[in-house]
Chains A and B, each alone.
Chain A
Amino acid sequence: MAEKMSRKPYHREVPKAGWVFDHPRYMRYMAREFTCLFIGGYTLLLVIGIGRLAAGRADYEAFLEALASPPSIVFHVLALGFAIYHSVTWFNLTPKALPVQIGEDFMPDKVIAGAHYAVWALLSVGILFLSGAF
């Protein structure tokens, strides 16, 4: 039957790069993905720091001095902002991936996302404690 019908379906191309700008929700999604670059960048910086520390006192102190430079401070402020955006957007999505059913009902989304924020706060306090901030 299908072979006898004259069909000429029209295929619309999705632009390989421009699709991101087709809808605000795509841009929000790419913003979340994009922020991971800063998290990756900051991780690299930490690795370099460990390398400098291993290289000796003079190298490490030069590294610390470089960290205090204005471009470095700008990078840190940006990286912090993007890391917070990244973490918040992902934490708010955790209830979708990790539903917890107790009896018949599901635990409210706020509790599941809230637990992630609580662990985040606890770990941050723990790290600050170990670093001698208190």
Chain B
Amino acid sequence: MNEREIELEVLRYDPEVDEKPRFQRYTVPCKSDWVVLDALNHVKAQQDPTLSYRWSCHMAVCGSCGMMVNGEPKLACKAFLRNYTGVIRVEPLAHFPIERDLVTVIDDFMDKLKRVRPYLIPKEEKSIEAGEYRQTPAELKKYKQYTQCINCMLCYAACPEYGLIPKFIGPAAITLAHRYNQDSRDGGREQRQEEIATSEGVWECSFAGACSEVCPEHVDPASALQQVKIESTIDWYRDHLMPWLKK
């Protein structure tokens, strides 16, 4: 297999020593089928064991290795080196504080994820003996695309609104709320609307569409957010113009 040398420029930050992050260069011999994550693993194993970054599956499933590659939010395991020329600049995901090197502080996202209740809240509780909650293929297809989210947070790194207004609940969390709202077995929409049909929820989104452009799983979060806007608007009109329909 063809080998070539690449130059990696990696943002380093050691909270115990550094006042602010700095770039460090590494020259890495790499094979043609390598991804950025392979190059980082090579650096850590052969050159600099102090380099910190998150990764786990190496197959675009776990969502751990999100980082900025030449300014673009990417999964390091899906960013093939053969698609880059010149020095490749690797930085931690934008819009998140840096814990150390390429490791970001993701507490904000985790809190938001929890707030939107991204799990099935059954319409009616059934005993196990009563059997499963059944669903037709059409009902499944209605939300299936939105189940593909791997919580990699690339959409948060791409979203200009989240960068400017960090209280914005953001693309992935609202998309997951929408995924459960669209589920025929679910009855938790009212609880989720309290979080997402708010000014720091979906109304902070101005449809830049960056989230969908960078999503490695083609979830298309921007579509989910626009659908939530339309449904929330219908709710508002129903509540204000036809209050007798309110339960």
Contact = CB atoms under 8 A, between A and B. Distances in A.
Interface of A: 6-12, 14, 16, 19-20, 22-23, 25-26, 29, 33, 93, 96-99, 101, 103-106
Contacts of A9: 15, 97-99, 105
A3 B189 CA distance: 36
A33 B15 CA distance: 40
The 9 closest A-B pairs by CB, nearest first: A97-B226, A96-B223, A9-B97, A8-B15, A14-B163, A29-B208, A10-B98, A104-B138, A9-B105
B227 A97 contact: yes
B209 A103 contact: no
Interface residues of B, number: 36
6 contacts: A6-B16, A9-B105, A22-B71, A25-B209, A25-B210, A97-B230
B50 to A, nearest CB: 16
Contacts of B21: 10
A10 B92 CA distance: 11
A30 B96 CA distance: 23
A29 B160 contact: yes
B164 interface: yes
Q: Tell which of A19, A25, A33, A98 has the most Cβ of chain B within 10 Å.
A: A25
A9 B207 CA distance: 30
Nearest to A96: B223
Interface in B181-227: 206-210, 212-213, 220, 222-223, 226-227
Contact of A26 (B137, B142, B210): B210
Contacts of B220: 96
Interface string B71-109: 110000000000000000000001101110000010000
Given A29-B209, A33-B206, A101-B141, 17 more contacts: A6-B16, A7-B15, A8-B15, A8-B16, A10-B13, A10-B18, A14-B163, A19-B163, A23-B71, A23-B72, A93-B226, A96-B212, A96-B226, A97-B226, A97-B227, A104-B141, A105-B141
A96 B16 CA distance: 46
A101 B138 contact: yes
A92 to B, nearest CB: 11
B20 interface: yes
Contacts of B138: 101, 103-104
Contacts of A12: 94-95, 97-98
A104 B105 CA distance: 40
B107 to A, nearest CB: 9
Nearest to B97: A9
A29 B210 contact: yes
A25 B98 contact: no
Nearest to B140: A104
A12 B95 CA distance: 7
B167 to A, nearest CB: 14
B96 to A, nearest CB: 9
A112 to B, nearest CB: 12
Nearest to A10: B98
B164 A14 contact: yes
A33 B209 CA distance: 12
A6 B210 contact: no
